[in-house]
Amino acid sequence: MATLFNDGFDTSNSTAWVSWNDQWQTTATMTYTTTTNATTADTTWATWTGVDTTGTACDYTWTQWVSVPCGGTVTYGTAGPQLSAEEIAAEQARIREAADRRQAERLEAVRKAKALLASLLDEKQREQLERQRFFEFVSQTGRRMRIKQGYSRNVDELGEDGKRIRTLCAHPGNYELVEEDHMVAQLLALRHQEEAFLRVANVS
Amino acid sequence: MGELSVLDRTGDTKIMWDSAQDAEVDAARATFDKLKKAGYLAYSVNKKGDKDEVIKKFDPDAERIIMAPAMVGG
């Protein structure tokens, strides 16, 4: 059996920590049994911090925890419900499934954004991107530009010799977009709104 | 059929319309106007992808419209 501590929030700290101590004092290895009679959470943890001689990180952890006032955004957790091994396994499976789903959604977003970007490039640019992870084009005002795989600090202005003159950093103000969507927006902006792009871009 | 692609966390969300269907055109236009008001940039692009231009107003005859969030300095 195990206990989860973060799924309940009890403003009655003394109850919370007495329960916690009751649950864990027989299994924990750190020395805190002298605190089990404390009647408030602050007393409990302040005392624990003071008496713990075996932990290496507890002082900092508990001092910080105790310093958060009751009702703050970090709240002392009560001892949660007892979970069976099966319930824990089910919860872990649920978390894994959610992570897998997010990963699949992200991969699908990348697939769609790649297709959209490819639809705006000619054959040579698509090949460049595939082989070298960048593509080159001519901007609205005739500058030779290179957009590299990425979302920021990935736009270079090139000289006639193909060497970098400067790097321009501007991208759509939505950090949830995948890289290829940033590259689509950068390409279209430099083709049609170069002045506006340069106005906001950081140059290096 | 026209196609409005809005860049977002899913890659892009597509809204299709038939220029002969008023309801579809209105729905696409409403999305366009809402995003423009939010600062999105809009480009009309032909299906082949070799011709594009900035647009300020929804064009029901556009082959494809791509809308991207406003640019910010990095």
- For every residue of A29-81, which 3-state class applies, written as one string? CCCCHHHCCCCCHHHHHHHHHHHCCCCCCHHHHHHHHHHCCCCCCCCCECCCC
User: Which chain B residue lies closest to A153 (C-alpha atoms)?
Assistant: B74
- Rounded-to-integer distance, Cα A44 and Cα B3, Å: 63
B4 in A contact zone (CB under 8 Å):
no
- Rounded-to-integer distance, Cα B66 and Cα A189, Å: 11
Asked whether B72 and A172 are in contact (CB, 8 A), the reply is yes
Contact between A192 and B54 using a beta-carbon 8 Å cutoff: yes
Asked whether A155 and A167 are in contact (CB, 8 A), the reply is yes
User: Which chain A residue lies closest to B50 (C-alpha atoms)?
Assistant: A120
Backbone angles phi, psi at A193, to 5 degrees: -135, 50
- In the structure, how many helices (H) and strands (E) does chain A have? 7, 7
Residue range B9-56, pLDDT digits in tens: 999 999 999 999 999 999 999 999 999 999 999 999 987 767 788 999
Total-model pTM: 0.67
Residue range A56-109, pLDDT digits in tens: 444 455 555 555 544 455 545 566 678 899 999 999 999 999 999 999 999 999
What is the arrangement of strands in the sheet containing B64-68, beginning at the earlier edge strand? B11-17, B2-8, B64-68, B41-45, B52-54
Q: What are the tokens at A5?
A: 């501590």
User: Which chain A residue lies closest to B40 (C-alpha atoms)?
Assistant: A172
From the CA of A140, how many Å to the nearest CA of chain B?
A: 11
B41 in A contact zone (CB under 8 Å):
yes
